Homo-oligomer: A and B are copies of this chain.
């Protein structure tokens, strides 16, 4: 199947990248905060200082999100013993393509300047592009090790397109709020990936069982991914919320939800594992569920204890999902979910949507303040007559839209990916970097020298200390055995 990739992968990369250049040339320009006219814009808008450029509000969060996308998602998937190159490398490739396409797709919906037909981009667009890519990387988790790079690129192309439409409907048409993307990013991304994985079901995947697990150091690499996702999740959920209290509150809520998740994950992992031992799979994944589930409500007045409750529940549900649901889904629903994204993104995402709807519906002016309520839920312009209870309904509607787009889109894209033209690996070559990467030859490399030195020392010692051992079968390096053998041999000589 690599032979098929031989020309298709370079072709897709070059052609699509060329298309991006042309589309960017036609459509994309800097927005007024990134353009050299900013200084004039400042005078016009009476902005007192350069620091009020949106760059300074959002750039640190952007960088954190960027780390989550490339190191977080990339390394989280390195847990397989022989698919670390594919995990981190293909993640890199599809994210780099996806963010360009996302800038265009999201730009057309959100940042189009109707005066000149150009999309004007700034730091917020970069964050949103990274968010959009996150959806596709979540989907990658379901099919990790079972698809080719070209399939991933196709999946990303359609994923980003669907995402942009779905996001526009949820945020602008339905006017749901979704700061951290529980619905827009996680629910969509996860069910999109699961639907694709369902379409690409491989009944004989057990032929790759030898590679479908971790080794000690690959689990440690995966923890790098886990921790960078976990640590920077407060930035993720607060990156595009309102300046000031909005970003501040979203960060606090996420910080707390994630902390609670860790404890319940550890509890359930230990409780449901034989001998009470902890399972690295749970620690690597389920500890993040709280960040997913608090996404929608992070900017609301969820209250610190509310965030803890969300995290508490999600740690339990997500870990139980790994223990019971994933095997069930593989066996009965024919969904092979390599990274368990159903437990980490799908269920917590849906919970996040529901928590968001409830929190929004129960918002009151006494808690939020008159101005605070308007700002938080953006009850302005077309929606200035909105009330919290109706907002709750809109939130729920948003969740449904995300689910429909994800499942519908996933099935459609899955059909496309089943075409036998994409060079996907054979059933007994899944989870194997050898298929798509030049893998260094492990056997020839490590220590021979160290071994050799030790070995020579050992040999000479044995040799000189025991001439008769020539006759003694050398079984292992414990001297006593050797001696006993010798004595036996000696005693036998007379018989000779």
Contact = CB atoms under 8 A, between A and B. Distances in A.
Contact of A215 (B5, B278, B376, B445): B445
A394 to B, nearest CB: 19
Given A93-B266, A447-B442, A448-B452, A260 B21 contact: yes
A3 interface: yes
Contact of A21 (B5, B71, B305): B305
A446 B442 contact: yes
B126 A9 contact: no
A445 B82 contact: yes
Nearest to A472: B473
A334 interface: no
Interface stretch (A164-172, A223-231, A401-409, A413-421): A223-231
A454 B457 CA distance: 11
Contact of A97 (B17, B18, B259, B375): B259
A91 to B, nearest CB: 10
Contacts of A116: none
Contacts of A243: 50-51, 53
A400 interface: no
Chain A interface secondary structure, helix, strand, loop or mixed?
helix
A9 B450 contact: no
B232 A63 contact: yes
Interface in A437-496: 437-463, 465-477, 479, 481-482, 485-486, 488-490, 492-496
Contacts of A33: 244-245, 248
A487 to B, nearest CB: 10
Interface in A153-167: none
A264 interface: yes
Contacts of A214: 440
Contact of A230 (B51, B70, B278, B455): B70
A224 B70 CA distance: 10
Interface string A283-309: 100010000000000000101110011
Interface stretch (A37-45, A181-189, A381-389): A37-45
B476 A459 contact: yes
B50 A49 contact: no
Contacts of A3: 275-276
A373 interface: yes
A56 B56 contact: yes
Given A50-B243, A224-B71, A466-B470, A376 B36 contact: yes
A442 B30 contact: no
25 contacts: A6-B276, A9-B276, A21-B309, A28-B304, A34-B245, A36-B373, A39-B244, A48-B49, A50-B57, A63-B235, A81-B445, A85-B219, A121-B252, A121-B304, A122-B248, A213-B441, A277-B437, A279-B437, A279-B438, A280-B437, A434-B449, A442-B446, A442-B450, A473-B475, A476-B477
Given A6-B270, A96-B262, 10 more contacts: A2-B275, A20-B260, A28-B304, A39-B244, A63-B64, A219-B440, A447-B449, A456-B475, A458-B459, A473-B473
